Amino acid sequence: MSELAPALEDHSPASELSHFPRNLIVLDTETTGLDYKTEKLIEIAAVKLIDGEVTETFSSLVNPEKAIRHSSFLIHNISEEMVQDAPTIAEVLPRFMEFVGDHAYVAHNAIFDYSFINEASKALYGQRFVNQRIDTFEMYRAVFPDEASHGLNSMLHRFGYQDEVVLHRALDDAMCLAKVFPRLRALYEQKFAWRLSQLPHVPYLVERYLRIQKASNALQAEMSDLKDIFKLYFQNGGTPIEASSGEVLSSHYRRNYLYDEKRVWNIALQANIQSQMFKLNPRALEKVIDRSEIEESVKEALRECRLSMHENRSVNFAKVVAAPEAPIVIADAVVPEKAEASVIEEEVSEG
């Protein structure tokens, strides 16, 4: 720890976070639906944010050459009549890419916008959209984890823009995001710098964490007991109760079905709806690749499907507990022998 502290003194928050670009593109998209593999872009917009100020804008409707889902129309109110004379993505994307250049881009729930732009880029250019991605949804959740919602509306209101409303039109929403991003970024950088400043104090923070964990476990046990009483109350004919603060205690049943997986899979394949019903479980897939007894050629084919790799670090608290002493009998004498210590581990995930 003594070697770490001086190193931290040489890193100001600005230099430590120099990987966070000062000049950025803020973008937003609207689409015919939610599935980037089957749906298309119908609007794309971007603004250049230079030192926190908007300097240029780009916006275009896009003819998707397919129908717009009614559920999506209800969100953005872009009709098929509005896009029927718009340029196609083959015309719009080159201009958009020229506007963006090699700048990093900011978006709220950025994976959504990225997925559609990336699909268009692969279709037109045969290559991925590789610009650095900054997701304000994740930043907002990191800075304000206790917010009930982490949508763009919530973030606008949090930063004092109560009169701003998310219209779900690409340029309007990109401009709203550009307004709040400098303030969000400042808080995010401050939080990161604060974390760095705590590194010399980790031994104390370990003790503090364990105290909080002990209190949290006790509270969780108490809350579990209370919920069991509430369930019993409703089982005996109890009616909903409104607390003085306005919350209402009520009860309902949730149905859980057990399905014939093989039959469901066959039906999904025949109806071509498997992408709507099944989501790939990467952890289960890794177990298949690493531990199953399937043919090596199949494992290799699965490995080739990997697009990228991310590592998540976890930390563990391990407590060495001495096992009971095991007696050794020598003739008529009993001599105690310490058994090999065992280790109890509790994993603490990053939150």
Q: What are the boundaries of each domain within the chain?
A: 9-195, 263-303, 315-348
Paired tokens of 170:
């690409």
Q: How far is CA 106 from the centre of its chain?
A: 15
**Which uninterrupted H or E stretch holds 83?**
helix 80-83
Task: Output the pLDDT for position 346.
Answer: 47
Per-residue pLDDT of the chain (351 residues; tens, 9 = 90+): 333 232 223 333 333 444 578 899 999 999 999 999 999 999 999 999 998 899 999 999 999 999 999 999 999 999 999 999 999 999 999 999 999 999 999 999 999 999 999 999 999 999 999 999 999 999 999 999 999 999 999 999 999 987 777 788 999 999 999 999 999 999 999 999 999 999 999 999 999 999 999 999 999 999 999 999 999 999 999 999 999 999 999 998 888 888 888 888 888 888 888 777 778 888 888 888 887 788 888 888 888 888 877 777 777 877 766 666 666 555 555 555 544 444 434 444 444
Do 61 and 78 touch, CB atoms closer than 8 A?
Answer: yes
- Give 311: exposed, middle or buried? Use CB within 10 Å, 0-12, 13-18, 19+: exposed
Q: What angle do CA 340, 343, 346 make, to 5 degrees?
A: 175
Number of C-alpha atoms within 13 angstroms, CB side, residue 93? 20
- Whole-model pTM: value is 0.68
Task: Output the pLDDT for position 86.
Answer: 97
- Three-state secondary-structure class, residue 237: coil
Task: Output the pLDDT for position 144.
Answer: 95
Active site residues: 168
Instruction: Say how many Å lie between the first and final Cα of the chain, rounded.
Output: 24
Phi-psi region of 254 (alpha: psi -120 to 50; beta: other; left: phi over 0): beta
230-245 residues labelled b (16+ CB within 10 A) or e (exposed): eeeeeeeeeeeeeeee
Task: Output the pLDDT for position 164.
Answer: 75
Paired tokens of 251:
């009860």
Question: Residue 32: which of 66, 60, 61, 81 has the closest Cα?
Answer: 66
Do 22 and 177 touch, CB atoms closer than 8 A?
Answer: no
Number of C-alpha atoms within 13 angstroms, CB side, residue 241? 9
Task: Output the pLDDT for position 130.
Answer: 94
Paired tokens of 342:
């065992």
What pairs with residue 58 in β-bridges? 46
What pairs with residue 106 in β-bridges? 26, 134
Distance CA 187, CA 192 (A): 9
Task: Output the pLDDT for position 298.
Answer: 86
Q: For residue 84, what are the contacts with CB-CB under 8 A and spacing of at least 6?
A: 63
Class of domain 9-195 (CATH, top level): alpha beta
Q: Taking the alpha carbons of 223, 225, 227, 233 in that order, is the dihedral positive or negative?
A: negative
Task: Output the pLDDT for position 15.
Answer: 35
What letter would DSSP give residue 34? Answer: S
* Residue type present at position 169: R
Paired tokens of 54:
């908007």
Question: Residue 120: which of 177, 63, 46 has the closest Cα?
Answer: 63
